[in-house]
Structure 1
Amino acid sequence: MNRPAPVVLVPACQRVLGRHPFHVAGKKYLDAVRLAGCVPLVVPGALPDELDTLLDLADGLLLTGSPSNVHPSHFGEEVLDPSLPLDQDRDAWTLPIIRRALQERVPVLGICRGFQEVNVAMGGSLHQAVHQQPGLRDHRGDDTQPVDIEYGFSHPVHIQGGGVLEQTLEGVSAVQDGQFMVNSLHGQGVNRLAPGLRAEALAPDGVVEAFTWAPDDGRPAAFSLCLQWHPEWLAAENPVSRRIFETFGAACLAHRDERLQRSPQRLQR
């Protein structure tokens, strides 16, 4: 019997289309999961007693970007700009499943909102408006431009030595002198990095652009990499993005195989 491909949970966002609520997930993220050699499973949301079932299915967790922001009540602040979209239904289950996934060593890849979700879930805080902070640049995209320009390269990121990102991107030609170019489409960003998270890359103004979880419980960490930029955009054409997704996929495969050794009946799922 052929072993199934790893299954990666992908959270949906909540949208009202017409007069009715829908659950939606961006195609570019699902394409990137398949580029990683995995099968995406879009999750519309979850009740607390459903998390065990979802984690039993999960060989990986990919947390997508979104127009919505994490509600600032999760890091002890009031809403700064009520005109910006929020998605408290997504917050309600992604924040607890992130903590569970990391503790249970499920591979995690967080992108943009997903990057911010992981920081908040683990006890960190966000700048609600990076561009209003002294000394920090405006990292927002320009949605009046064609999408290929909006998602084009915006600034370099500087890899912090000795970490997961440096190891992941070893030998990638697009990385020169410890840095590479990324796009930039975020209004919020890391303020206080949560305990246990390690900065992996910084923007020229010092904004954290990538981090990993470095547990201190004595157990080996699973692959976890959270990125403020959008590697899923034209991922197959970007050598940095391709390497990141391939590495994530390999970690999901290894996690799947390790769990199959413990529970061979999972082959029949």
Structure 2
Amino acid sequence: MVPTVPEPPFEAAMAPSCTACKADTLANSRFCHMCGVAVGMAHGGYSIVEPSILPADLQAVKKPSPGMRRNSAADLRRNNSSYLLLMRLEEAGAEWRDVEGLSDPGGRTPDSTPKARPMTMSPTKRWETDRDRFVKISEIHAAPAFPRILCVSRRYLRKNKYVDITGEYHLELIQKFGGAPIILPRTMQTVQQLCEYLPMDGLVIAEGQDLSDDILQKYGCQVPERLTGEAAKKFASDTETDVSKDELEFALMRFALAAGVPVLTFCRGSQMLNCMRGGTLVGDIESQTDSCIKHLRDSSDPEYDSFRHPITVKTKTPLAEWFGDSLGNGEAKMLMVNSYHHQASKELGWSLVPMAHSPDGIIEAFYDPRYDPKAGQFVVGLQFHPERMLGDYPGCARCYESFLEACRAYKAFQDVCA
């Protein structure tokens, strides 16, 4: 059990830096948010307690035992730092973008490091000991530490009871390219327990129902015009909302954007990403645009899964890179993609640029131009579902491959900092 370090008053002064890692220390904090060394009171403010005088269990946090799987102590310190940022974002409410300078493109640079909120950190996690035990009795002690990719389950009615499901195609692709998918239950209580699932090295937000008005407003996003009456009932599985799932995924997305975590989104997820960056939505393509394409079909339609429509791909974008061989290495610009949506991104938010459009002008793909997988920078929104058309183009799997490359780079950088 970790001994209690005296908690200073909230207004305590910030010390210039941690004597262990030279990072700025935080007022009202028990540990350095970067290296995990305990913080103590001295001269009216904070000074760092040297590791040599720490109790054995705190020294173990700073210096993992030889039998412990690599990066477990780093994961613990990253969890602590994540907790601080979560609290800071939560207190900001609808103004959360101002916390990390996310309200305008110039407010945040690709290599900027999120600042943590001055609060006490979460206690040492039992999984550090459990992991150590598991390593000793298994064959995985030499295996690399996989990046943790978080994704949220979806509610499904089966035998008159709700169950949580997650598409295996996402999980298998994450694992194929070297990630460890972590499935979060979409229940409301998960939001309160979110820190227990951190740290995360990547976030996947995929399909689901329309985004709820209350959650959009809570996060400072614009609410689109809605379908009503019989029109809404026609595609109830899409037009109905799941507030619990929205609450959890918005909290995860907010954290990921603030911390620079790689983000890959599909369909509903891409619409969420655009809203979080200040963009807007088309509430219903069929009734609010002059589209000649039926973007959403009833699940009983024989062409529900086989239907494809063309999209025009912009050159010199990640999408053109992933599908290069299918696009004749730049000579062709057209791909045929699936479609399962009645809403779409209308105006893109800040620092998002389009990668593809359908013939009716609907944005089918976009990304943050600071994209650099080798540097751990990846924010992408795809309106179509490449995971459902893996047999159509090799590029459908490459978007996951590139995403996991970014997740590994992000994890490596964070582990060094931790």
Same fold (TM over 0.5): yes
2:287 to 112, 126, 132: 132
Matched, 1:54 2:197: yes
Q: After TM superposition, list the pairs within 5 Å mapping 1:180-191 onto structure 2.
A: 180-191=335-346
Change (3 A) 1:103 1:236: farther
Verify: 1:156 aligned to 2:303, yes or no: no
2:160 equivalent to 1:13: no
User: Structure 2 vs 1, CA of residues 19 and 171 (structure 1 numbering), >3 Å: closer, same or farther?
Assistant: closer
Give the direction of change, closer, same or farther, for the CA distance of 1:2–1:236 in structure 2 (3 Å limit): farther
Query: For 1:214-269, what per-residue CA distance to the aligned partner results, in whole angstroms no more than 9, with x for missing partners?
Result: 47xxxx77112111111111426631201111111211222222223233xxxxxx
| Corresponding residue for residue 4 of structure 1 | 145
Q: Which amino acid aligns with 2:170?
A: Y
* 1:251 aligned residue: 406
Of stretches 11-20 and 38-47 in structure 1, the one that deviates more from structure 2 is: 11-20
Q: Deviations over 1:13-32 (max 9, x none)?
A: 23344454432212222223
Distance in 1 (alpha carbons) for counterparts of 2:304 and 2:408: 33
CA change 1:80–1:72 in 2 (3 A) is farther
Contact 1:15-1:21 within 8 A present in 2 as well: yes
How much has 1:170 moved relative to structure 2? 3.5
Aligned length: 255
2:206 corresponds to 1:64: yes
Aligned partner letter, 1:211: F
Deviations 1:46-74 (A, max 9, x none): 65554444341x121111112x1111442
Provide the TM-score with structure 1 as the length reference: 0.83
Equivalence for 1:266: none
Give the Cα–Cα distance (whole angstroms) in 2 for the partners of residues 2 and 97 of structure 1. Answer: 28
TM-score normalized by structure 2? 0.55
* Structure label with greater radius of gyration: 2
Where does 1:64-143 land on structure 2 (aligned, <5 Å)? 64-66=206-208, 68-73=209-214, 74=216, 75-77=222-224, 79-81=226-228, 82-83=232-233, 84-136=239-291, 137-143=293-299
Residue pair 1:174, 1:180 contacting (<8 A) in 2 also: no
Letter in 2 for 1:54: Y
Q: Report if aligned partners of 1:165, 1:200 keep a CA contact under 8 Å in 2.
A: yes
8 Å Cα contact 2:327-2:333 kept in structure 1 = no
How many percent of aligned residue pairs carry the same amino acid? 26
Equivalent residue for 1:42? Answer: 183
Q: CA deviation at 1:76?
A: 2.7
Contact 2:323 2:396 in 1 (8 A): no
Counterpart amino acid of residue 409 in structure 2: A
1:105 is displaced (CA, Å) by 1.7
Please identify, of 129-138 and 69-78, the stretch whose mean Cα deviation from structure 2 is larger.
69-78
Structure 2 CA distance for aligned equivalents of residues 235 and 36 of structure 1: 14
Deviation at 1:115, TM superposition (A): 1.1
Higher mean C-alpha displacement, 11-20 vs 96-105: 11-20
Other structure's SS at 2:386 match: coil
> Shift of the alpha carbon at 1:112?
0.8
Higher relative CO (Cα under 8 Å, sequence separation at least 6) belongs to: 1
Return 5+ residue gaps in structure 2 as ranges: 1-141, 217-221, 234-238
Aligned to 1:213: 368
SS of the counterpart of 1:22? strand
Partners of 1:214 and 1:221 within 8 A in 2: no
RMSD between superposed Cα atoms in Å: 2.5
SS in 1 for 2:155: strand
